[in-house]
Structure 1
Amino acid sequence: MRTTDKKAYLVGGGIGALAAAAFMIRDGGMQGSNITIFEASPVTGGSLDGGGNADDGYTLRGGRMLTTDNYECTWDLFKSIPSLEHAGQSVYDETIAFNERHLPHSRARLVDRNRFKVDVSSMGFSMQDRLELLKLAEADEDTLGSSAITDWLSPAFFDTPFWYMWATTFAFQPWHSAVEFKRYLHRFMLEFSRIDTLAGVKRTVYNQYDSLVRPLVAWLQEQGVNLIMDCTVTDIAVQECDGRLSATAIACQRRGLADVIPVADSDLVFFQNASMTDASSYGSMHVAPARRTKNDSQGWRLWEKLAEGRPALGRPAAFNSSIPESYWASYTVTLKDGAFFERMEQFTGNSAGTGGLVTFKDSNWLMSIVLAHQPHFAGQPAGVHVFWGYALHPDRIGNFVAKPMSDCSGADILRELCGHLNFDLDIMATANCIPCRMPYITSMFMPRAKGDRPLPVPAGSVNLAFVSQFVEIADDVVFTVEYSVRAAQTAVYQLLGVPREVPPIHAHDKSLKVKLDAVIKAFQ
């Protein structure tokens, strides 16, 4: 069968599936009209979401950190996707131009209980910390196995400025995977020496839904890709014979109607196995978010069904079995005036969009906020300001609000935030704070063993690929846009036999200069 006649079905409308569709068209020679994306929600983008409005309040579950020194596959893709606002420019072009105008350099990365800006020029390591960190960083993954970070580092390490900065930049917890922590140390070694200023972090013009997802979806629709929303895929029939595995049919439900779509061996099926934002829920200024689990959403069910009795398709239970260890909460604040932004800019010394995260290191919730360049949403009215924050320990009692963040409304969260800043609560008079609970947000960081994550194209598969944060890609790191895009590009090139190399990972950790800078920083 000619590539132009081949059909592809993508289960899930997150960035991985959208990227896969783009690579099929751009590099695989497929017709857009032969590609269908099934998405259970009313919008595409998956975890790269952004919604709401100035009157009801904007919402962001989270935003992934971007760099231009890494993210090889992401920028390879977005160099091909036209900007929605700048004629003749790609999304990559406009992102680079934006960051040249708004250079990041945090002046208030950590703030203590007295509202003093912590001196973060030193990482705060003891010699024991340095030796233990080096031992972990140099251990091979077989040795690290399914161990946790705490199995390798002493308790004092987790009270260093480095840990507060690294943990809140990347959302690590001490009980997370030692393998994943090691991969981050290597993949982002270039950031180690500038973690105190976040100088390597890059921002999109707007939130990542408006800046990445919307232009990508617009381009795919121009190519004729079929987007079927509000459609839940309930099963993927798989046939196994003589070590050969193939998807043969897709069962789905849309608006109460069931359908079964036959799949030929020559067709392709791409499955986004699980989502880190599965079972998330929003609250309001007066109500805390509902406590939901995978049983409420069935978001993990299809992967669990496919993987049962098939070790090559992974082990979901390694990731979704302990909500207390994979959960944190975020909040988005919409303001109808600029008073809070002006006060924060005075306090931090950073104009909005140049400071990155401000973390309250003594916060029981381990609370952080970030003020992005405004407007942060396409179409955001003049005079409206939006900022985002999150907390890594939402099940602990607050310092100023006598209950866990899990039980807090938006008004409670603002009270806690103003307490840490020693701001009068009146500064939030026009604020609308919408909290968000995400029970599986760092589930991909859970300690895991070899085989717990399937390969993008499992062994023996002729037409079934996995594209998500829960696949195995050597040397790369989860909880990044890059991981999903790299998985998509890898799978598309393999199944379509694309005669082009997937962009290799920049091995900054092999650079003598980068290593030397990291050593110097570790001894400051």
Structure 2
Amino acid sequence: MTSTKRVYQRTFPVSPDGNPFVHNDLGLYTHNHPTPPSDVAERRAYLVGSGIGALLAAAFLVRDGRMPGRNITILEQLPVPGGSFDGAGDTGRGFITRGGREMGQHFECFWDIMREIPALEMPAPYTVLDEFRTVNENDPNIDPCRIIHHRGKRRDAYRMGVGKKGQRAVVRLLMAREEDTFGKTIEDWFDADFLASNFYTLFKTMFAFQQYESLTEMKRYMHRFLQYLPGFSDLSCLRFSRYNQFESFIVPLVDWLKGKGVVLQYDTCVDDLEMTITSGRKVVNGILFHHADGGRDRIDVAEKDFVLATIGSCTESTGYGDMDTVPPFHTDRPGGAWTLWRNLARKSAVFGRPDVFCSDPHKTVWESASFSFMGADHPFLGRIRELTGNDPLSGRTVTGGIITAEDSGWCLSLTMNRQPQFRSQPADWGVAWAYGLYPHALGNCVRKPMIECTGEEVLKEYCYHFGLISQFDQIRERTLVRLATMPYITSFFMPRRAGDRPGVIPDGCVNLALLGQFVETPDDCVFTTEGSARTAMMAVYGLLDLDRDVPPVWPAQYDIRALLAAAKTLNDGSLPGEKMLTRFLRGTYYEDILP
């Protein structure tokens, strides 16, 4: 079995061998240049899918594994790369992204490779990381209007509203062993008062959690992003790219890979991997795939070659709609990366249990909307200006994150990032992204479930909650709407147990690693860019047995300063026992640790 000795299982403020990790202000882990296998130039690597995990794995293979780019082939079922990191459109139909990702400083694996990729617009030698850092240092993020209610009225979001019982439940969750949360839901642990609190409204809408979803994953989020709690109510803890994430990250990454000779093969949907399985060994020797026209094919794989496969997909079977069209909600058996995972799971229990995650699309679906507002004097742009105090077309931070209509039946949120969001976007257009967490519920104005509405009806519901219903006719004439219904968008949040998700390199696998959001990475959490990046780094370093450590998750959960600041935030700005702690620490080395 391929060694994974450098892929550590817990987070530490220093590495297990005693060497400190060095971080800059974006959480970069700095270490050695690894020594690749002597025969790496004779090997080939096949990556299934071209989502962010697979693209980053290809980059790690080139940079750290020293594998020639021409030896790496990426197999993608769509005609474009990027997977869920999409972004497209024009002035005829409007612009669309299915989703957006909140970026943080401490994405160790992601920023580690993005410091190598040439910037989208800045000249050489600047990189994607340089561009991202410069944008965010010159234009810090803040959300001046996190919550609205009563048809467009701002509401204070700074008080968390968590009672003593709820605070104790949070502490118990942080202290609990992870195995004690397996199979449980959020509502199994927290009572109705907590679920009605301001904190939970902020939490569920920021991360897209339903209360019937995984307590295990909520626990991981609480640990992983503990340091974010003081900036929770205004999202000052977050960072965003200059343009949509497809153009800001995928375009420069793909250009770099192509420049290294990496081959991207589109219209290739991998269904299964042929494997030879004996006692203690699992070797891939063939990749089975089909094309859009139904034609089937096979790629031979030698034992010394590698296959890195993305399993599962949160955007598989997306149904698209527009101003006049209701997006279809596809509830039949999912294909693509789900078919591959199911076929792997039939071969061995080490490949996990995909049906835990994809068998109930009615629970894992939500719908997103992309609004293209045409004209600088558009009423919706004016409303956003009133709510945030920011000029939407200034090129700087606009909403700084989502604005949630807390009394919306659909639990609507909307965000407008720096404009233009697309480089081909007209200068006087504003593009916003929005989603409904409860797509099966009735709307307050449009008395239908979101999932049954056209783009015009979705726009009308948003106008109602933003206090613009009286101007709806004018807004409709100057807005383009594109919808995306995603049946499996929160499938990774379904309650799970040990073994439901496979390891990055499942037990006994000699030349196979798994990538993406449905793979087990100790201490890290799903629905993040970093989660996919971590699987990519673990896969490459493990298969090649590289002598470079995979950096641990940033250890905020062990930092007394982060713990104290989080406690103060949850208790509405008052640190429990603050007077006693102040007296105890006054005049000592540690008196400045209190928030």
State the Cα distance separating 1:512 from its structure 2 match.
1.2
State the Cα distance separating 1:350 from its structure 2 match.
3.6
Partner residue, 2:452: 407
Q: Does 1:502 align with 2:565?
A: no
AA aligned to 2:413 is S
Residue by residue over 1:254-291, the C-alpha shift from the partner in whole angstroms, topping out at 9 and shown as x without a partner, is: 35432211111100001100110011111010111011
State the Cα distance separating 1:327 from its structure 2 match.
0.8
Question: Does the aligned pair in 2 maintain the 1:102–1:354 contact within 8 Å?
Answer: no
State the Cα distance separating 1:114 from its structure 2 match.
4.6
Partner residue, 1:72: 108
Q: Does 1:115 align with 2:115?
A: no
1:320–1:256 CA distance, 2 compared to 1 (3 A): closer
Partner SS, residue 269 of structure 1:
strand
Question: Does the aligned pair in 1 maintain the 2:151–2:464 contact within 8 Å?
Answer: no
Counterpart-to-counterpart distance in 1, 2:119 and 2:142:
26
AA aligned to 2:505 is V
Partner residue, 2:194: 157
Q: Does 1:130 align with 2:167?
A: yes
Q: Does 1:469 align with 2:506?
A: no
State the Cα distance separating 1:296 from its structure 2 match.
5.9
Partner residue, 2:122: 86
Question: Does the aligned pair in 2 maintain the 1:279–1:299 contact within 8 Å?
Answer: no
Output aligned runs, 1:145-224, within 5 Å: 145-224=182-261
Partner residue, 1:479: 527
State the Cα distance separating 1:142 from its structure 2 match.
1.1
Q: Does 1:341 align with 2:381?
A: yes
Q: Does 1:434 align with 2:482?
A: yes
Aligned Cα RMSD in Å? 1.3
Counterpart-to-counterpart distance in 1, 2:562 and 2:174:
15
Output aligned runs, 1:49-448, within 5 Å: 49-68=86-105, 70-88=106-124, 89-254=126-291, 255-293=293-331, 295=333, 297-338=335-376, 339=378, 340-352=380-392, 353-355=397-399, 356-423=401-468, 424-425=471-472, 426-448=474-496
State the Cα distance separating 1:59 from its structure 2 match.
1.0
State the Cα distance separating 1:309 from its structure 2 match.
4.4
AA aligned to 2:112 is D
Partner residue, 2:566: 518
Counterpart-to-counterpart distance in 1, 2:568 and 2:202:
17
Question: Does the aligned pair in 1 maintain the 2:369–2:435 contact within 8 Å?
Answer: yes
Counterpart-to-counterpart distance in 1, 2:398 and 2:302:
51
Partner SS, residue 250 of structure 2:
helix
More displaced, 503-512 or 275-284?
503-512
Counterpart-to-counterpart distance in 1, 2:193 and 2:347:
43
State the Cα distance separating 1:234 from its structure 2 match.
2.2
1:447–1:407 CA distance, 2 compared to 1 (3 A): same
Residue by residue over 1:156-191, the C-alpha shift from the partner in whole angstroms, topping out at 9 and shown as x without a partner, is: 111111111111111111011111000100100011
TM-score by length of 2: 0.86
Counterpart-to-counterpart distance in 2, 1:350 and 1:253:
49
Larger radius of gyration: 2
Counterpart-to-counterpart distance in 2, 1:78 and 1:506:
18
Counterpart-to-counterpart distance in 1, 2:148 and 2:120:
38
Q: Aligned residues, how many?
A: 523
State the Cα distance separating 1:108 from its structure 2 match.
1.0
More displaced, 12-21 or 1-10?
1-10
Q: Does 1:36 align with 2:36?
A: no
Question: Does the aligned pair in 1 maintain the 2:388–2:398 contact within 8 Å?
Answer: no
AA aligned to 1:399 is N
State the Cα distance separating 1:428 from its structure 2 match.
4.0
Question: Does the aligned pair in 2 maintain the 1:106–1:350 contact within 8 Å?
Answer: no
Question: Does the aligned pair in 1 maintain the 2:75–2:268 contact within 8 Å?
Answer: yes
Partner SS, residue 385 of structure 2:
helix
State the Cα distance separating 1:31 from its structure 2 match.
0.5
Q: Which stretches of structure 1, 4 residues or longer, exceed 6 Å deviation after superposition? A: none
State the Cα distance separating 1:295 from its structure 2 match.
2.7
Question: Does the aligned pair in 2 maintain the 1:107–1:350 contact within 8 Å?
Answer: no
AA aligned to 1:459 is D
Q: Does 1:7 align with 2:40?
A: no
Residue by residue over 1:303-356, the C-alpha shift from the partner in whole angstroms, topping out at 9 and shown as x without a partner, is: 101101411001001101111221110000112212222321112324443431
Residue by residue over 1:465-490, the C-alpha shift from the partner in whole angstroms, topping out at 9 and shown as x without a partner, is: 10010000000010001011100100
Partner residue, 2:10: none
1:152–1:139 CA distance, 2 compared to 1 (3 A): same
Counterpart-to-counterpart distance in 2, 1:115 and 1:50:
28
Residue by residue over 1:73-131, the C-alpha shift from the partner in whole angstroms, topping out at 9 and shown as x without a partner, is: 01001001001211121000000111122211212101112532121221001111111
